[in-house]
Chains A and B, each alone.
Chain A
Amino acid sequence: MEAVDGNAIGGLLQEVFGTEMTGAASVCGSCGAARQVAELAVYLRAPGTVVRCRSCESVLMVFVKVHDMTCVDLLGLAALG
């Protein structure tokens, strides 16, 4: 499966964070790479939506929707916003 990028989840991110996030800065918790969210690697058809670092491929964010609830895991990030 080929990755798209953070542009593709602008709607999901706005739903979760309540604001536009594709232009927000992110820092990978593993390698320290800093990128705008739009530039991160996004896998849409994993079990849930998986966002990975474009430098070291570490998992940065995971979003899983269950009915009307979205479960969010941001543990791979050192910083966001």
Chain B
Amino acid sequence: MAGTALRRRLTWQIATVSTVTVETASVRTLTLDVPDWPGHQAGQHLDIRLTDEDGYMAERSYSIASAPGEPVAITVERLDDGEVSPYLTDELRAGDDLELRGPIGGYFVWEPEDGGPLLLLAGGSGIVPLRSILRHRERTGSTVPVRLLYSSRTLSDVIYRAEFDQPASGVEVIHTLTRSQPPGWSGYARRVDTALLTEVAWPAAAMPLAYACGPTSFVEAVSQALVQSGYPPERVKTERFGATGGT
């Protein structure tokens, strides 16, 4: 089945926005009605294409936020100088059309049989594919233990906060807030460094599987620290989305 899906020709199609959910001041989740969607894996992407009246096209890749079997959703952070994201976060309304193709990718994906324990490391909107993995774990009844380390600038920048306040059984969510912290904050309050990872990460001897997603600098720092602490490089999956901030 997977082979059939992989060989399927990737074609652009028109989806319809079914709902827009406000996640934070700059982040929206768009739930999409995609007529010809073959199903996706947790961690995969889709490409969005916008065309202006002159025919100029801009394409961007977005991680899928929903689990396999759920309606397709993407979570988009507004980049002030972006060509695509301000349209997605500010202009699109339920009922609007959107051109996309997908699902895409076979590297940064997780299936229950891949096992764990899982170490999920998110910088800012790097949480999106990891949220798909967490929902997939819960929906499939997987009992793989999970630690999620999620770095945000402030508490109000935390995406899916209500979901992570009540994590599923076997899931530990550890926040770090790098820019400012609310009064009484007892969690971490700095960028992820080796000392913080040593406290939070599963020991290498537990043969954990790590997924790190976020700005390039965040992913470089955490993946190097994990490999230095004994994680085999092939057990550290990485996805970098550039210097968009958010950690």
Contacts and interface: CB of A to CB of B under 8 A. Distances in A.
Interface residues of A, number: 22
Given A3-B216, A19-B6, A11 B101 contact: yes
Interface in B215-247: 216-217, 237-243
Contact of A10 (B9, B61, B217): B61
A39 B238 contact: yes
B212 to A, nearest CB: 11
B170 interface: no
Contact of B106 (A15, A18, A23, A44): A23
A2 B240 CA distance: 10
A79 interface: no
Interface in B95-126: 101-102, 104-108
A20 B6 contact: yes
Given A11-B61, A23-B106, A38 B101 contact: no
B102 A11 contact: yes
Looking at A6, A7, A39, the one whose CB has the most chain B CB atoms below 10 A away is A7
A8 B106 contact: no
A3 B240 contact: yes
A7 B241 CA distance: 9
Given A4-B216, A19-B7, A14 B242 contact: no
A11 B238 contact: no
Interface in A1-32: 2-11, 14-15, 18-20, 22-23
A7 B62 CA distance: 10
Interface string B156-174: 0000000000000000000
A7 B239 contact: yes
Contacts of B61: 7-11
Contact of B107 (A11, A15, A36): A36
Contact of A11 (B9, B45, B108, B241): B45
Contact of A7 (B45, B46, B101): B45
Interface of B: 6-7, 9-10, 45-47, 59, 61, 101-102, 104-108, 216-217, 237-243
Interface of A: 2-11, 14-15, 18-20, 22-23, 36-39, 44
25 contacts: A2-B217, A2-B242, A4-B216, A4-B241, A5-B238, A5-B239, A7-B45, A7-B61, A7-B105, A8-B61, A10-B45, A10-B61, A10-B104, A11-B10, A11-B46, A11-B47, A11-B59, A11-B61, A20-B104, A22-B108, A23-B106, A38-B105, A38-B107, A38-B237, A39-B238
